[in-house]
């Protein structure tokens, strides 16, 4: 055995980025095992890597206007008129149609859409629903807690969730008020409302979106209203209330445990 | 948006359907999706990103003579990176946002709604352009350090220091506890 040769920062980066060969990787690993601070840093970097990739992955796509991009015929936000490329649109189209027709063709007709991702829609709608319904005194929900079984069956059916269970938050001091159907991202969604002994309310929103790919857990807050939301497969969940983050997080964890995975 | 795409004489197009090798244009076209991703990862908005992409395509078409037939992708990435790093002044001079920008803000980012603020993206905005470009080339685009150095004509040590700077800055910004992993007990 030799050198407890220390590990350079460059090697830590290379480790985080998966560029090391087996031997170096093992060496860095044993270094990290003894240096918790460095280990934390590297694990933060790796987490960053994943978040960055996820954040931009969705932009890798073609647009209907791509052909025009090549022929210089696309107007831009600025005022610069496209000055050039009498490189004729025709020529470009030939190449595109001929050389690429097969594999690129179908992509050309995907809509060039700009829209909110579900992860952006979810907390916003959760907050709105909370603000609208939690303040209702007489009609906060459509189906009250005394019909919990019916509530679960009904909303489960609308959301296509087999065996939807209404989360039980008694352990956190909140009892069910009831629930309602409401649109979430333009599709049927469920809202459950809870209340503690002091009448403080919180809502749990469930929505479905087939295009969901990401899984994320995060807080969003606006004024005093806090939302904790996460996406789990096709389903999105959001817990909203005017309560402490800590409490909200505990409730979110409880819901996460109780909802079907 | 502006023009009708098919102003081209389509008859000519059909006649000329010679067995085309993969043309320069076709290579760009095939590369556009990843270039778009890279562009967006460097910039602050969809509009800025599309502008950069367009600049890059124009520049590539104009300097096609300089492409020596080697790695086309790296060449295009290099053009885009340089355009972006050099754009500092011209962007600062741009008076105000156009209509497209307004649309994009409304639909894409809703930047002033506190609920929507994506912390990661915000943290990225605080990075120096050079550091951000290196980070994206390595992390999102998957280039090795030496490849980035070659692409940007900088020593690999500079790549590492930019990468390090970017990572530490992001780490500090992201540190406030906001994104919390939940574990479902099994």
pLDDT digits (tens, 9 = 90+) for A186-216: 889 999 999 999 889 999 999 988 776 656 6
Query: Is residue A111 classed as helix, strand or coil in its secondary structure?
Result: coil
Position B70 confidence tier, pLDDT thresholds 50, 70, 90: confident
| CB atoms near residue A118 (< 10 Å) | 22
Number of domains within chain B: 2
Report the distance separating Cα B85 and Cα B94, nearest Å.
Answer: 16
Asked if residue A125 and residue A34 are part of one domain, the reply reads no
Summary mean pLDDT of chain A: 79
What pLDDT sits at residue B130? 93
**Average pLDDT of the segment spanning B10-28:** 58
Instruction: State which H helix or E strand residue B11 sits in.
Output: helix B10-15
Share above pLDDT 70 across residues of chain A, in percent, rounded to a whole number: 77
Chain A partners of B171 at a C-beta cutoff of 8 Å? 41, 44-45, 48
| CA dihedral angle for residue B99, residue B101, residue B106, residue B108, rounded to 10 degrees | 140
**Do the chains contact at A114 and B46, CB–CB below 8 Å?**
yes
Report the distance separating Cα B35 and Cα B161, nearest Å.
Answer: 25
| Neighbouring residues of A107: CB distance < 8 A, sequence distance ≥ 6 | A61, A62, B33
Does residue B149 surpass a pLDDT of 90?
yes
CATH number at residue B69: 1.10.1740.10
What pLDDT sits at residue A92? 47
Per-residue DSSP letter, B29: H
Instruction: Examine residue B5 and state whether it is found in any structural domain, yes or no.
Output: no
Asked if residue A236 and residue A138 are part of one domain, the reply reads yes
Q: Which residue range forms the structural domain that includes residue A93?
A: 66-109
**Do the chains contact at A13 and B163, CB–CB below 8 Å?**
yes
Instruction: Examine residue B60 and state whether it is found in any structural domain, yes or no.
Output: yes
Asked if residue B30 and residue B98 are part of one domain, the reply reads yes
Instruction: Examine residue B2 and state whether it is found in any structural domain, yes or no.
Output: no
Does residue B137 surpass a pLDDT of 50?
yes
- Over residues A68-93, the pLDDT tens digits come to 777 765 555 443 434 334 344 444 44
Share above pLDDT 90 across residues of chain A, in percent, rounded to a whole number: 38
Q: What is the ipTM of this complex?
A: 0.71
A107 versus B118: the higher-pLDDT residue is: B118
Chain B partners of A14 at a C-beta cutoff of 8 Å? 145
Instruction: Examine residue A126 and state whether it is found in any structural domain, yes or no.
Output: yes
Find, in chain B, the residue whose alpha carbon is nearest to that of A66.
Answer: B29
**Average pLDDT of the segment spanning A233-261:** 86
**Do the chains contact at B8 and A69, CB–CB below 8 Å?**
no
């Amino acid at each position: 055995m030799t050198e407890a040769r220390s590990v350079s920062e460059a090697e830590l980066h290379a480790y985080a980025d998966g560029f090391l060969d087996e031997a170096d990787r093992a060496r860095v690993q044993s270094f990290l095992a003894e240096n918790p601070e460095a280990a934390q840093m590297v694990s933060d970097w790796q987490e960053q890597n994943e978040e960055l990739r996820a954040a931009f992955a969705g932009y890798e796509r073609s647009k209907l206007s791509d052909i025009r991009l090549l022929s210089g015929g696309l107007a831009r936000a600025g005022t610069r008129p496209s000055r050039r490329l009498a490189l004729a649109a025709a020529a470009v189209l030939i190449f595109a149609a001929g050389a690429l027709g097969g594999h690129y063709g179908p992509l050309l007709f995907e809509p060039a859409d700009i829209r909110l991702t579900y992860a952006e829609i979810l907390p916003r709608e959760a907050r709105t629903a909370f603000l609208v319904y939690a303040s209702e005194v007489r009609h906060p929900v459509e189906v009250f807690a005394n019909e919990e079984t019916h509530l679960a069956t009904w909303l489960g059916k609308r959301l296509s969730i087999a065996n939807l269970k209404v989360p039980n938050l008694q352990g956190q001091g909140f009892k069910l008020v009831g629930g309602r159907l409401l649109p979430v991202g333009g599709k049927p969604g469920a809202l459950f409302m809870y209340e503690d002994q002091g009448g403080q309310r919180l809502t749990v929103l469930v929505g479905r979106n087939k295009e969901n790919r990401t899984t994320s857990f995060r807080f969003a807050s606006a004024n005093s209203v806090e939302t904790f939301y996460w996406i789990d497969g096709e389903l999105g969940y959001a817990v909203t209330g005017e309560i402490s983050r800590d409490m909200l997080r505990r409730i979110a964890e409880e819901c996460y445990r109780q909802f079907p995975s | 948006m502006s023009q009708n795409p098919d102003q081209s004489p389509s008859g000519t197009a059909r006649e000329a359907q010679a067995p085309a090798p993969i043309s320069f244009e076709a290579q760009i076209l095939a590369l556009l999706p990843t270039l778009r991703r890279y562009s967006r990862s460097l910039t602050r908005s969809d509009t800025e990103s599309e502008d950069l992409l367009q600049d890059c395509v124009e520049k590539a078409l104009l300097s096609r003579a300089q492409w020596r037939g080697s790695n086309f992708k790296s060449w295009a990435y290099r053009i885009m990176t340089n355009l972006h790093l050099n754009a500092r002044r011209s962007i600062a001079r741009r008076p105000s946002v156009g209509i497209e920008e307004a649309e994009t803000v409304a639909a894409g980012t809703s930047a002033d709604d506190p609920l929507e603020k994506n912390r990661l993206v915000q943290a990225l905005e605080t990075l120096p352009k050079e550091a951000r470009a290196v980070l994206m080339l390595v992390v999102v685009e998957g280039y090795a350090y030496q490849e980035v150095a070659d692409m940007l004509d900088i020593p690999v040590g500079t790549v590492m220091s930019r990468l390090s700077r970017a990572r530490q800055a992001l780490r500090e910004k992201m540190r406030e506890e906001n994104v919390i992993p939940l574990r479902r007990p099994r």
